[in-house]
């Protein structure tokens, strides 16, 4: 499932053609995705100007001049693809309609934004902008990794005394928003912390050190356009290339890249999810 860097990459791709533009026509081609779509969704979107396009955790939020906000969650296979406009040095013509084009936004400048989702694990909703923070998917989220509220004293306090593995703690969206399996694995490797260690056993120095590393890993991933595993594509249809820089994730059996380390990357299953790490480097 796309994590913060992938969603931020898509948001940035949509920004030039969506923010400030009017949705000339909205097409809604089915009644539901993961959950039922909002009532009269096409009517509520058509003719509305997008006043701001932002991200909260793994969700894209499009604020409309109607006082509503469109929430978009990509799910496992959802894609927001742009056509009919110049993207960098390339012009992308409108493609023929596809089977899984569930929501299509025709923007007043001629661009088309298509939400395509083969597995229908994605979601869309409309909510009052002034109460967006109370939405069921947003209300319990922790601070953004790049925000001022996510800092060393905050994280050290949230980890103190916790009896869950540090990996599970960092995946807890109530502690920090947007992190997923890939970027937690890469963060813990750079921090030289085993994913098996209990969060409450980390020293204050170790806990404090996680904050800049989390930001560093996420910033590098955004710069690379996210990580393409299976279905993820940027808004222009391109792959994300951070996966070429994985140091541990999905590298089971490969030699550790740490200089002078003779260890091998190991895969351990925690709560049904794979953890990739180097037992020699990460303690």
Residue 126 and residue 237 in one domain? no
Residue 129 and residue 36 in one domain? yes
pLDDT digits (tens, 9 = 90+) for 86-112: 655 455 678 888 899 999 999 998 999
Which residues, other chains included, contact 150 with Cβ-Cβ below 8 Å and sequence gap of 6+?
142, 143, 144, 176, 211
Whether residue 41 is contained in a domain is answered as: yes
Q: How confident is the model at residue 236 (pLDDT cuts 50, 70, 90)?
A: low
Task: Write the CATH number for 35.
Answer: 3.20.190.10
Burial of 159 (0-12, 13-18, 19+ CB in 10 A): buried
Question: Which is more confident, 239 or 186?
Answer: 186
What is the total count of domains within the chain? 2
Distance between CA 71 and CA 237 in Å, rounded?
21
Distance between CA 209 and CA 225 in Å, rounded?
25
End-to-end CA distance of the chain: 28
Provide the 10 A C-beta neighbour count for residue 238. Answer: 15
Domain that holds residue 102: 4-134
Q: How confident is the model at residue 2 (pLDDT cuts 50, 70, 90)?
A: confident
Task: Write the CATH number for 156.
Answer: 1.10.8.50
Average pLDDT over residues 145-158: 97
Q: How confident is the model at residue 224 (pLDDT cuts 50, 70, 90)?
A: confident
Which residues, other chains included, contact 243 with Cβ-Cβ below 8 Å and sequence gap of 6+?
227, 228, 229, 250
Residue 33 and residue 122 in one domain? yes
pLDDT digits (tens, 9 = 90+) for 116-150: 999 999 999 999 999 999 999 999 999 999 999 99
Residue 99 and residue 42 in one domain? yes
Residue 171 and residue 115 in one domain? no
Which residues, other chains included, contact 64 with Cβ-Cβ below 8 Å and sequence gap of 6+?
45, 48, 49, 50, 51, 70, 129
Residue 53 and residue 94 in one domain? yes
Residue 16 and residue 107 in one domain? yes
Examine the fold and report which residue of 99, 134, 169 is the final residue of a domain before the chain moves on.
Answer: 134
Q: How confident is the model at residue 77 (pLDDT cuts 50, 70, 90)?
A: confident
The pTM of this model reads 0.90
Which active-site residues does the annotation give? 2-3, 58, 273
């Amino acid at each position: 499932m796309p994590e913060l860097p992938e969603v931020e990459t898509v948001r940035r791709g949509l920004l030039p053609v969506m923010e400030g533009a009017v949705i000339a026509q909205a097409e809604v081609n089915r009644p539901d995705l993961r959950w039922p779509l909002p009532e009269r969704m096409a009517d509520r979107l058509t003719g509305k100007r997008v006043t701001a396009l932002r991200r909260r955790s793994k969700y894209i939020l499009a604020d409309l001049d109607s006082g509503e906000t469109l929430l978009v969650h990509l799910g496992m296979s959802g894609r927001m693809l742009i056509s009919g406009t110049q993207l960098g040095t390339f012009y992308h013509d409108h493609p023929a309609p596809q089977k899984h084009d569930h929501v299509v936004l025709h923007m007043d400048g001629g661009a088309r934004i298509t939400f395509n989702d083969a597995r229908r694990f994605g979601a869309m909703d409309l909510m009052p902008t002034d109460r967006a923070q109370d939405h069921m998917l947003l209300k319990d989220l922790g601070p953004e990794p790049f925000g001022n509220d996510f800092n060393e004293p905050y994280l050290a306090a949230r980890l103190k005394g916790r009896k869950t593995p540090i990996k599970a703690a960092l995946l807890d969206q109530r502690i920090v928003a947007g992190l997923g399996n890939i970027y937690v694995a890469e963060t813990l490797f750079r921090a030289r912390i085993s994913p098996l260690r209990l969060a409450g056993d980390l020293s204050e120095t170790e806990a404090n050190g996680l904050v800049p590393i989390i930001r560093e890993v996420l910033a590098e991933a955004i710069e690379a356009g996210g990580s393409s595993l299976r279905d993820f594509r940027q808004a222009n249809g391109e792959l994300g290339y951070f996966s070429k820089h994985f140091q541990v994730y999905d590298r089971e059996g490969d030699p550790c890249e740490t200089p002078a380390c003779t260890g091998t990357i190991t895969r351990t299953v925690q709560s049904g999810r794979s953890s990739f790490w180097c037992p020699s480097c990460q303690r």
